[in-house]
Amino acid sequence: MPIYSEKVMEHFMNPRNVGEIENPDGVGEIGNPVCGDMMTFYIKVKDNRLEDVKFKTFGCGAAIAVSSMVSEMAMGKTLDEAREITPKRVADELEGLPKNKFHCSNLGAQALNKAIDDYLEKQAKGGKK
């Protein structure tokens, strides 16, 4: 087991915003079982803000902590602000990630971004709202 920061352990033991959103405005899926980490982010958008963010994650302790942290950082943010959540910022908020686990943190921000992309695509196609 790698040595995780207290913050990573805290988010792993008590992950925030786990679950799915019914009729989400956007969904972002990333990863595959070969690399060992898979994340799905669900978002609800209201007035250009992330009204709700939830996730489901298959992966190591870091992947779960990262997902939890990303959901917390993104909650209530505007879409543009949420875009600024980078793997580096997530890792910093978690008080660091083991080097060989850094790829997990890339996934969290990427999955959120994909969910936002999904929302914007649906909007462009004349979806709801």
Partner 1 sequence: MPLLDGGVQEGGRRAGTENIPAIAGLGKAAELARENMAARVKHLSRLRNRLLAGLPARIEHMVLTGHPENRLPGNASFCVEFIEGEGMLMLLNSQGVAVTSGSACTSRALKASHVLLAMGLPHALAQGSVLFTFGIDNSEEDVDYVIEVMPPIVERLRQMSPLYAKFSKKGKGGA
Cα gap 34→66, rounded to integer Å: 19
Cα dihedral 116, 118, 122, 128 sign: negative
Catalytic site residue 35?
A: yes
Choice between 14 and 78, CB closer to partner 1: 14
- Binders of partner 1 in range 81-100 (CB under 8 A): 100
Residue 48: which of 77, 85, 28 has the closest Cα? 77
- Residue of 45, 53, 60, 69 that binds partner 1 (CB under 8 A): 60
- 76 near partner 1, rule: CB under 8 A: no
DSSP 8-72: HHHHHHS-SSBS--SS-SEEEEEEETTTTEEEEEEEEEETTEEEEEEEEEES-HHHHHHHHHHHH
**Judged by CB under 8 A, does residue 20 bind partner 1?**
yes
Annotation marks residue 60 as catalytic? no
Residue 61 as a binder of partner 1 (CB under 8 A): the answer is: yes
Estimate the crossing angle of helix 102-124 against helix 61-74, to 10 degrees: 40
- For position 43 contacting partner 1 by CB under 8 A, the verdict is no
Among 21, 39, 66, 74, binds partner 1 (CB under 8 A): 39
Told to check if 18 binds partner 1 by CB under 8 A, we report: yes
Instruction: Please give the residue ranges that form the binding site for partner 1 (CB under 8 A).
Output: 1, 12-13, 15, 18, 20, 29, 32-34, 36-40, 56-61, 63-64, 100-101
